[in-house]
């Protein structure tokens, strides 16, 4: 879990590269666990334009609302034939 403050906005960044192959669910996401109801996901889109087998930058902003209980970062590689590497994961 990531320590956050209600009402604050944050930027999450990371670098990712992968091998070729079928990709199921892969990529970074911020998960907002709510006090009630299902969690919300903020996917980090690719912001650099390099080939997938090179280090690419991913980034997204999120704000912690009153309804958020906890925040986590998930680094997905599910149902995939690709190998994925993550690096330099930050929340600022």
Residue 79 backbone class (left: φ over 0; alpha: ψ -120 to 50; beta: rest) = left
Write down the pLDDT at residue 11.
Answer: 98
Q: Model confidence at 73, in pLDDT bands (50, 70, 90)? A: very high
> How far is residue 29's CA from residue 8's CA, in Å, rounded to a whole number?
18
Arithmetic mean of pLDDT, 47-70: 97
Q: Model confidence at 50, in pLDDT bands (50, 70, 90)? A: very high
Confidence (pTM) = 0.91
Write down the pLDDT at residue 23.
Answer: 83
């Amino acid at each position: 879990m990531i320590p956050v403050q209600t009402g604050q906005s944050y930027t999450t960044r990371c670098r990712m590269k992968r091998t070729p192959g079928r990709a199921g669910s892969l990529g970074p996401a911020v998960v907002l666990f709510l006090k009630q109801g299902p969690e919300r996901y903020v996917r980090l889109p690719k912001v650099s334009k390099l080939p997938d087998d090179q280090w690419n930058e991913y980034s997204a902003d999120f704000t912690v609302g009153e309804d958020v209980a906890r925040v986590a970062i998930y680094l997905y590689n599910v149902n995939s034939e690709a190998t994925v590497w993550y690096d330099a994961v930050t929340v600022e």
